[in-house]
Amino acid sequence: LSNDVAPRVASLIVLATGTLGRLTNAFPKWLVWVSYLIGSAMLVLVTFLDAGALFFPVWVGIVSVVLLFRPRGAEGPQPPEG
């Protein structure tokens, strides 16, 4: 059961984190779109390919590097206006 459910939960984590990154401006726009692409691909591909589960660690690595090397402002990420 966990082999069927865990990759789908990971894809929902990727999609939710991408959305939070977009709403708080914590992620650059390209990373938000990469998150949506990887999350959607994981949701579909884990049904057909076991290798689809490897997208999650790759995405975690990309997000970690981007957040580690992003410029830090005095007040941090700002929510969008409006």
Q: Residue 15 is encoded by which pair of tokens? A: 């999609």
pLDDT at 72: 73
pLDDT at 53: 74
Which residues lie closer than 8 Å to 12 by C-beta, 6 or more apart? 39, 43
User: If you compute the radius of gyration of the chain from its CA atoms, what whole number of angstroms results?
Assistant: 14
Helical ranges in 1-82 per DSSP H: 2-24, 29-45, 55-69
74 or 69: which carries more pLDDT confidence?
69
Q: Residue 71 is encoded by which pair of tokens? A: 């410029």
Q: What are phi and psi of 27, to 5 degrees?
A: -110, 145
Residue-wise pLDDT tens digits, 9-63: 999 999 999 999 999 988 999 999 999 999 999 888 877 877 777 889 999 999 9
Query: pTM for the whole thing?
Result: 0.80
Asked whether residue 1 carries a pLDDT value surpassing 60, the answer given is no
